[in-house]
Structures are given as C-alpha cells and as structure tokens.
Structure 1
Amino acid sequence: MAEDRPLNHDEMLAVLDWYRAAGVDVAVGEEPVDRFAQRAPVRTAPPQATAQAMAPAAATAAPQGTPPMIGADPAEARNLAASAKSLQELEAILGQYDGCGLKLRATQLVFADGNPDASIMLIGEAPGAEEDRIGKPFVGKSGQLLDRMLAAIGLDRTKVYIANTVPWRPPGNRTPTPEEMALCLPFLHRQVELVAPKVIMTLGGPAMQTLFDTTSGIIKMRGKWANLTVGRHQAEAVATLHPAYLLRNPAAKEQAWQDMLSLKLKLVELGLVD
C-alpha cells in the first residue's frame, strides 16, 4: 500500500503537470470537497401541478439518443465562415466565435503556420499542449519531426501552409467530438478555399477521415491520391501518418517516407517544383 504522506514540492509539480496533460486546468472551488463523505440527494416526486406543467415541454423534447448541441449552431458557423473574404478576416472571426466549447478550455486560437500563398497545404487533427501554448500548429516534438520530413524532400514552412481540422486544443489531447468537428469544419473548408492549394496532405487518421469523408483507417488509405473537393475548392490530396504516431511507432517511418516521396513526385508532375 502506498505511504499516506504529504507530497513534496517536486511531487506536487508532477501532479499538476499530470492534471494539465489530462485537461484539468480550472479549479471549481477554493476548498477541496470529499465526495465520498457526501450523501446522495433524496429524490422526491414533484407536485402534481409541476408535473403537469412539465408535460408539454417533455412532448417537444429532442428524441432519445440525439446528441446535445448546447449553445452550438452549425448554421451560424457556416454563415460566419462564408462571410470571411480573407484569411485575416477568417482568423479574426474565429477569435470572436464562442460557439465551440473547445475554445473555453484552450489557451488560445491555433490558426495556421507557413506560407498562405503556398500551393501545398498540410492538415492535421488538433493542437497539442505546445501548440496551445505557442499558438502555432506542429511546434512540439511531432512538429520538429514534420519539419525534418519536409526537409527530406526539399520543403520547409516557407513553401507549405499548415492548419488543423479544429483550431483549439481538446482537453487532454482527446479526439474532437463529432459535434465539435461539425462546428469547426465550415471554418476549415473556408480556410482551404482561401488558400486554394494545388495539393493537400492530411496528417493522421482523424484528419484523413474528416477531409476525405470516410470511415476507413489511415493504414488502408495512406499513400492513395484522389481529387478531393473541400468546400468549393478541388485539389489533389493524399493522406499520410501523423508525426506523433511515427514517434510512438518508429517502424512506420518507412511508410511515411514512401508517402513523402509520392508527394515530391506529385509536385514535380504538377510543375510545382523542379
């Protein structure tokens, strides 16, 4: 059994780091609460008048199983995204948009990095802890690996444009929910339309499934080129493995290298590089 003792300074910092990585970064009270010491509330039947008053509301409630969309309106997101005439306007609109709950827990908006005039656009899933802290996509260890992957085929961030499917970090780096994706997708589509890349490469399974609108796995889909329509823009597109996956599974780097070579060949074929 673990020793019951107060934590020292280093141990407390380690616990705080663990909480932040798990997405617990907001205190809900000044004093801790012992939930085990609390008694469960006793439910009482509502008065007859109250029950009758609730009946009409229950009759119009959403069907059972419908996911809640608290304070969220995808139509509003589509209208706001469509109103942006430039990337600067789109970033400003996202900065003021409060419809997606991810923004409430994130440190800041992570909009994009690289060259907005580039013919190549890379799209990942969501910002991580370092990206959330700095405000740019792919700046942590996976971003450093991505830079090396690009350099291996003669590219760098001055020659590509980098974004994510959602611009705010999900708590604990979890996968964005379908509701969160539905709210962020119009902004991504508009971002692609404004950049108008000739070539799109998605990084990782979630980004591939979102952009290619498929439920297939990344291993099955990676390396296969397709003419992809994103919003009102068409581009040649291919999926590859996420750099974070490659850091956990170094043996998969061979597959990613094949995809990068395929990207280089496509760029030559389209006359985008020599």
Structure 2
Amino acid sequence: MGIALDMDALDGPTALALLEWQVEMGVTDVIGEASLDRYALTDTRPTAPTKAKAAPPPEPMMEQVDPVAVAKIAANNAPSLDALAEALAAYDHCEMKKGAKRTVFADGNPQARVMIIGEAPGRDEDIEGRPFVGRAGQLLDRMFAAIGLSRTSPDPATSLYITNVMPWRPPNNRDPEPAEVAMMQPFLARHVELIAPDLLVVMGNTPLFALTGGRGITRARGNWAQAWGKPLLPMLHPAYLLRNPGAKREAWADLLALQARLKELG
C-alpha cells in the first residue's frame, strides 16, 4: 500500500501525526509527491508492423549489340558497290568514325584485275575522300606505273582498284585495334566479292592481319598466300618506303613478282 504526501504543505507536528496514522493504517511505501492512478488502463495492443518500402524494380538491361554481326548483315545485304558504300557510311558502331571527316570507300577501276588493300586513310585522304592521295599515294602510283598499272586506266588489264581496311581516319593516325578491324572484315570481304579481282595486294600490317590473321609485314612481304579464294601478295606500305628508302629494292622485287603472276593468270 502506498500514498503520496505533499510534505511541504504541513507543519512538523501535523506531518508527524499523519505519518504515525499512515503506519497504523498499513502504509509501507512512500510513492512520491504526485499521485499515481494505478487503475488507469494503458494500450498494450501490439502495433501493426511498418510496411517496408518496396524496392524499385530493376532497370531493364540494355540489349547487347554485336557490332560484327551487325556489319555482316549490312554487308551481305548490299547487292552492289554503291549499296555497300551506303551501308558502310551508315554503320555507326565504330568509334573511329566519330572523329573522321569522311568515309573513304575506294578509288580506281572496279573491273581491275588487281585490288590493292591498304590500312586506313590519313589526313589527305580524310579531306579528299579517296584512298592513297597523299605522299604515300603518289609513291604508290609511281610504283605500279613502273609495271604498267594505273588506277585511272579504263582497261581492266592495266588498271588498279584501291581501298583500305578502315574507311575512317584513326585518331592521331594510330593503328586500328583488332576489334575495329573485326568490324570492317565483313564489309571488306563483301567488297572483294563484288570486285572479283584476279589477285589481291595487301600493303602494311593492318590488311595482312585482316585477311590472313598474320602479322609482321616485313617478314611476310613477297610471299604469296591465299585469302578469300584469291592469290594474295603482301607488300610494304608506301609510307614505310618513304621512311625507309632502302626498302624500295624489296618493293621492286614484289612488283616484278606481281607482274609475272598476272602473266601466268593470262
């Protein structure tokens, strides 16, 4: 049993008398200055659990695009050179395209027996939109003129057809990466199929890798190979010859080998 007392409101004798009376009445605990209603009900009902916010739905995954597969479809659906040029110009999966001014497709006679494949456009080619028009291109023209071949000849027997693996100028003239070359292989294969030359000449490491999977043009040059059903002759790039004039002797030997092979093919 307990009772609350305001002791400050009582004098001493009165307070003592009340205390003695409370003891006689069985008070055992002094609770405090404020009374407490022990019969008041408290709400002991369990509260409903707070619903956790639903996690946002996962964002849909972006569909992965295979740029090589896209290139194969675009190239294989091109029925002509003009259609292939349009498909190549519309292809947007190669980052190299973003920094180039033009898509450099080809030059020369589409009926030519010899198809030359270079690496990629340089500054002059990017401006003009044709392959091999800078200093290296001028040297190429002189080299093949020495064996009676020209990109401007209307006669298929004495003409050249010229293209590159990459149709866009690489940033800072860097070498194309293998993934970039892989994107262009379907277009290049279709290009060769439409031209149907008697033989191919690859100039430099990039076309050597694109057509044969090999590297090391200085070791491969002058050694005939096969690619896409065609005889293939690797040669040093004219830009390499400009930097290394002593290698022109090897280039001349390769030109003579090309001339002899054309005579063999009739």
Paired position in structure 2 for 1:258: 253
Paired position in structure 2 for 1:243: 238
Task: Give the Cα–Cα distance (whole angstroms) in 1 for the partners of residues 205 and 91 of structure 2.
Answer: 27
Matches within 5 A, 1:144-155: 144-155=138-149
Q: Which moved more, 1:71-80 or 1:203-212?
A: 71-80
Paired position in structure 2 for 1:204: 204
Q: Deviations over 1:120-155 (max 9, x none)?
A: 100001000100000000000000000000111111
Give the Å deviation of 1:72: 5.5
Matches within 5 A, 1:164-203: 164-203=164-203
5+ unaligned residues in a row in structure 1: which ranges?
1-48, 61-69
Give the Å deviation of 1:71: 6.3
Paired position in structure 1 for 2:101: 107
Closer, same or farther: CA 182–227 of 1 in aligned 2, 3 Å = closer
5+ unaligned residues in a row in structure 2: which ranges?
1-52, 154-158
Paired position in structure 1 for 2:219: 220
Task: Give the Cα–Cα distance (whole angstroms) in 2 for the partners of residues 181 and 208 of structure 1.
Answer: 11
Structure 2 residue identity aligned to 1:252: A
Structure 1 residue identity aligned to 2:176: P
Specify which of 120, 124, 149 is matched with residue 118 of structure 2. 124
Q: Deviations over 1:130-185 (max 9, x none)?
A: 00000000000000000000111111103010000111111111111112111111
Task: Give the Cα–Cα distance (whole angstroms) in 2 for the partners of residues 120 and 148 of structure 1.
Answer: 16
With normalisation by structure 2, the TM-score equals 0.73
Identity among equivalent pairs (%)? 50
Structure 1 runs of 4+ with >3 Å offset: none
Structure 2 residue identity aligned to 1:206: T
Q: Which has more radius of gyration? A: 2
Paired position in structure 2 for 1:91: 85
The 3-state SS of whatever aligns with 1:127 is: coil
Task: Give the Cα–Cα distance (whole angstroms) in 2 for the partners of residues 247 and 156 of structure 1.
Answer: 20
Task: Give the Cα–Cα distance (whole angstroms) in 1 for the partners of residues 209 and 98 of structure 2.
Answer: 25
Corresponding position: 1:163 with 2:134: no
The 3-state SS of whatever aligns with 1:181 is: helix
Q: Which moved more, 1:240-249 or 1:180-189?
A: 180-189
Task: Give the Cα–Cα distance (whole angstroms) in 2 for the partners of residues 242 and 133 of structure 1.
Answer: 20
Task: Give the Cα–Cα distance (whole angstroms) in 2 for the partners of residues 110 and 227 of structure 1.
Answer: 26
Contact 1:87 1:191 in 2 (8 A): yes
Matches within 5 A, 1:45-84: 73-84=67-78
Contact 1:72 1:99 in 2 (8 A): no
Task: Give the Cα–Cα distance (whole angstroms) in 2 for the partners of residues 128 and 103 of structure 1.
Answer: 13
RMSD of equivalent CA atoms: 2.1
Contact 2:182 2:210 in 1 (8 A): no
Contact 2:68 2:182 in 1 (8 A): yes
Q: Deviations over 1:211-245 (max 9, x none)?
A: 1122x31121110112322xxxx111110000000
Structure 1 residue identity aligned to 2:222: G
Contact 1:132 1:168 in 2 (8 A): yes
The 3-state SS of whatever aligns with 1:162 is: strand
Contact 1:78 1:187 in 2 (8 A): yes
